[in-house]
Amino acid sequence: MAEFTMELNDEQKEVRDWLHGFAADVIRPAAAEWDEREETPWPVIQEAAKVGIYSLDFYAQQYFDPTGLGIPMAMEELFWGDAGIALSIVGTGLAAVGVLANGTEEQIGTWIPQMYGDANDVKVAAFCSSEPDAGSDVSSMRTRAVYDEAKDEWVLNGTKTWATNGGIANVHVVVAVVDSELGSKGHASFIVPPNTPGLSQGQKFKKHGIRASHTAEVVLENARIPGSCLLGGKEKLDERLARARERARAGGGERVKNAAMATFEASRPAVGAMAVGTARAAYEEALEYAKTREQFGRPIIDNQGVAFQLADMRTSIDAARLLVWRASWMAVNGKPFTAAEGSMSKLFASETAKKVTAQAVQILGGNGFTREYPVERMHRDAAIYTIFEGTSEIQRLVIARTLSGMPIR
């Protein structure tokens, strides 16, 4: 087990500087254009693939970093560049985590490479959990998966929403109900292979922020997939469902995690790191502006009202990063989140990003309200962090339940 440290080693610093260079030289110059176009920035993703950032190997190296700091460090630098483009680059990772968290070694080796493609033919993947009537309340999920034993196939029906890369993905990971009587414990995750009949893209959303990231509905109409596409395999699923039914008959017992929650738990600190990157970018823009913008014959940073805001912004950013790093180290080293540390990191970092970007707009004044300056876009982008992969309210609920041991509602 690696000791917890707040200092990156030389190799990590080299990777950080490399990512920062890509974010500064490739992502940032393209940010405003793709935000306006509201389209997937395929050329930027391809550039990331060419240099090795958009690849299974790169994310595997960061994912298995024994310090736990590889992924949050990478997320912070890329999202410092631009949140929308960065999400297009890393969005496939949520589907990959879903396979890593629930799949067999064979499934991991088969499907994750197909999620990324290669530098000459880049692909993306989508993780599909939320539904029109089931966002935070995963127990209300309606998408059904029915096993056809005669053909060894699963038949999927339902509509998913808010899916990053939904409909344009080469591989979709879909969470569906296999036993409606068990609530969220009766869910399972499935791979929907490329070009599966019955899967189509529904509405594409025009969003407030992260506009360069494709978000859409995914419609499943009698979509048939091979039995081997059930993540973890049917034997493991049957055993898990049997345990859940036995506990239900006994009136409770040990809590069983469902497939969607296992994925979100693993990814929450990474989302926190994304928020830290956006907050840091806005803070740096505001700091530079305050040092050069003059009013009444002096830079506005000479005024305590501005200087104290910047001090609070930097303090909150550093505190958020430390919570993210702690949770990431704990996750990689098998430390249980006994105080919901993963949710803590995501909650604090998300709220920090919203507050810091709003303060940046305020410091820039009228200029901050225009699209001529990037803090306007950063402020719009930051709103998503308190919403996706568990709203701030859900994070507080998870934390409160974990601390109290009570079924707080």
Q: Count of alpha carbons within 13 Å of 115, Cβ hemisphere only?
A: 33
Q: Is 217 a catalytic residue?
A: no
Pairing type for strands 215-226 and 199-204 reads antiparallel
C-alpha distance from residue 19 to each of 15, 60, 87, 260, 297 (Å): 6, 16, 15, 30, 39
Q: Which two three-digit tokens encode residue 409?
A: 């509602």
CA distance linking residue 59 with residue 366, whole number of Å? 40
CA distance 386 to 260: 18
Catalytic residue among 221, 294, 389, 393: 389
Longest dimension (CA), the chain: 82
Distance of CA 143 to the CA centre of its chain: 22
Q: How many CB atoms lie within 10 A of CB 294?
A: 10
The amino acid at residue 257 is K
CA–CA dist 357, 161 (Å, integer): 27
**Of 54, 57, 64, the residue nearest 91 (C-alpha):** 54
Nearest Cα neighbor of 355 from 309, 390, 318, 396 is 309
Q: Which amino acid is it at 151?
A: K
Distance CA 76, CA 384 (A): 15
* Tally of CB atoms within 10 A around 228: 16
Helix axes 10-22, 70-81, angle to 10 degrees: 20
DSSP single-letter state for residue 140:
G
d(CA 93, CA 377): 24
Q: Which residues have a catalytic role annotated? A: 389
